[in-house]
């Protein structure tokens, strides 16, 4: 057993690639089957590995599930953390909205998995939401509040602004089947570009300083 004071050895390139391979397969399985119906056998098959190989990297199904959620959250939070206090507020928020829509377009399964976890009461990542996520939101809402105090944005509640951005951008991943059905085949093909123009127009116009 390794001494607790000794850091774990850095995984090799092959180990990192195998772990990423498992997480990609697990995301596909969990997002369709849900946590309860998903099995390690199904994840291993999706990854093209044996169950024994999967268990070399993860202790069990819960460990794989938590790792997938943590990987998703780390990816999602990068653009929020990148808000530049010295940048133009509308440009910074516009860039964040655009990035979030791109994420919904390119990684819809991750958004659906996260939504299912939240609907279940966040049993696996509740502590993360109340800790690291809240800490980041606190820091970035302070940035938005600073812009408002300087008269560079309309006076809105920064936390509800962020939740509004999350809701509207992730809708295009979580409810994509409904979106395409309502739009019809022709409009559905352009749904993300039109959504970007519309969301940016509405939100940024509402954030412009009054008067």
> What is the count of structural domains for the chain?
2
Q: How far apart are CA 103 and CA 90, in angstroms?
A: 20
Q: Are residues 97 and 169 in the same domain?
A: yes
> What is the rounded average pLDDT of the residues 68-75?
87
Q: Are residues 14 and 81 in the same domain?
A: no
Structural domain contains residue 36? yes
Q: Are residues 118 and 88 in the same domain?
A: yes
Structural domain contains residue 143? yes
Indicate the pTM of the whole model.
0.84
Asked if residue 110 lies in contact with residue 27, where contact means CB atoms within 8 angstroms, the answer is yes
Q: Are residues 54 and 119 in the same domain?
A: no
Q: Are residues 82 and 136 in the same domain?
A: yes
| pLDDT at position 141 | 97
Higher-confidence residue of 101 and 73: namely 101
Domain region containing 192: 69-207
Q: Are residues 178 and 203 in the same domain?
A: yes
Q: Are residues 149 and 193 in the same domain?
A: yes
Q: Are residues 49 and 112 in the same domain?
A: no
Structural domain contains residue 201? yes
Structural domain contains residue 63? no
Q: Are residues 73 and 54 in the same domain?
A: no
Residues 6 or more apart from 25 whose CB is under 8 A from it?
43, 44, 46, 47, 48
Phi, then psi, of 66 in degrees rounded to 5:
-65, -40
| pLDDT at position 9 | 60
Structural domain contains residue 166? yes
The 10s digit of each residue's pLDDT in 105-119 is 999 988 988 898 899
Q: How far apart are CA 82 and CA 141, in angstroms?
A: 13
Q: What is the separation, in whole angstroms, between the first and last Cα of the chain?
A: 66
CATH number of the domain bearing residue 23: 1.10.10.60
Q: Are residues 89 and 139 in the same domain?
A: yes
Residue among 196, 199, 202 at smallest CA distance from 105: 196
C-alpha gyration radius of the chain: 20
């Amino acid at each position: 057993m390794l001494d607790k004071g000794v850091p774990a050895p850095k995984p090799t390139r092959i180990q990192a690639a195998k772990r990423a391979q498992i997480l990609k397969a697990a995301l596909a399985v969990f997002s369709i089957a849900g946590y309860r119906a998903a099995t390690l056998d199904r994840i291993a098959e999706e990854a093209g590995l044996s169950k024994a190989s999967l268990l070399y990297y993860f202790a069990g199904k819960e460990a794989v599930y938590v790792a997938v959620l943590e990987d998703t959250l780390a990816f999602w939070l990068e653009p929020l953390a990148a808000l530049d206090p010295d940048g133009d507020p509308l440009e910074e928020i516009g860039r964040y909205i655009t990035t979030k829509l791109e994420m919904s377009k390119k990684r819809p399964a991750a958004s659906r998995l996260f939504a299912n976890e939240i609907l279940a009461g966040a049993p696996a990542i509740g502590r993360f939401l109340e800790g690291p996520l809240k800490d980041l939101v606190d820091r970035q809402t302070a940035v938005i509040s600073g812009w408002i105090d300087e008269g560079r944005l309309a006076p809105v509640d920064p936390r509800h602004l962020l939740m509004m951005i999350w809701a509207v951008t992730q809708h295009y991943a979580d409810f994509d089947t409904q979106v395409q059905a309502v739009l019809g085949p022709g409009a559905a093909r352009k749904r993300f570009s039109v959504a970007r123009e519309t969301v940016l127009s509405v939100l940024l116009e509402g954030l412009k300083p009054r008067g």
